Structure 1
Amino acid sequence: MLDKDDNNRLEHHSALIELELSRLDIDIAELSKVRFTGDGSLQEHGAGYTLFWSRKPATKGHFLGVGFLVRTSIASTLESLPTGHSDRIIFMCLPLRNKEFATLLSVYASTLQAVPAEKDRFYSELRYVLWCTSAADKMIILDDFNARVGRDAVVWRRVLGRHGIGNCNENGRLLLEFCSTLRDCRDVLHT
């Protein structure tokens, strides 16, 4: 969690995160609970990363926000800056070879305690962002869905593999249903 209200803590947190990403040779990381307001970017010179974030005005004291930490050498190749859709969804289009692209999403789903309307709004927004993405793009969702999907690979055979663990919770069911509908309709949406 990065918090812009305390610059010393911000510098400390971001420096630690960047050093760990650099040590692990990670080029792009998804972040949840980024507390910077609005949409923006910040180039960190220490380990060579650029932070991109989205946090729309929140109500009821929520501290939401999502972002990416991107190795600066990759960030400089982006044709457009990452775009914040809401305080729970930000996406970026990463150029690949042969004029192909990968669309990366950083998402932060509602917790179990959230009201159903808030959960429905999140999945509606995510569906919209996915629908607006070119069907030719590779799609990568980096996430915190606050969900446990369990291990019922028979019921969710086209969505869930055989190696799940634990029991499915309500957020897991919502995620599985969402994935199931996308699997069936993504090609239809883009024809």
Structure 2
Amino acid sequence: MIQGKNVLLRRLNHDDIPILWEFIYGEKDPEWKKWDAPYFPVGFMTRRDFEKEKKREAKDLYSNKMYIEVNGRLIGMVTYYWEHQPSNWLEVGIVIYEPSDWHRGAGTEALKLWVRHLFEKYKLIRIGLSTWSGNTRMIRVAEKTGMRQEGRIRKCRYYNGVYYDAIKMGMLREEWLSFSLKNV
């Protein structure tokens, strides 16, 4: 577990599974998906299959995910994947599921905790985050975490009849060290 001021990052527990299924599959077009890479479909998983998969994840001590809890409630998730492990480059992601939990600082705090944890756990050279130009809130959260825009791939994300840019955000270890000293 990683405890912040208002946010707890923790592993999945059994009680989270039905809540998580509802967040992801409980409604046809959830609001969170309109911002979290909406150009990629979510697909569907039955409750039973989802529960099997998540029970395996809950037992995995080396999971690449942690769940965001605020005031005893599950509200989202942070994750990472190796973009290129030989060069010590991770990509991170975050989702806060309910719009009522947006604009309260939990996402920023969770991402800061996650980035700090990953830099401390691994000998990373860099951490990146990919988003799209339609998600200005995610870009702002990444900036508040100390990341900066490193790339823009123009008009490559098509959503609701409009082309958007892919945005690459990132932070080098030395930038994180400098940022974390200023923001303690």
Q: TM-score, normalised by structure 1?
A: 0.33
- Higher share in helix: 2
- Higher share in strand: 2
The structure with the largest alpha-carbon Rg is 1
Greater RCO between the two (CA within 8 Å, min separation 6)?
Answer: 2
Q: TM-score, normalised by structure 2?
A: 0.34
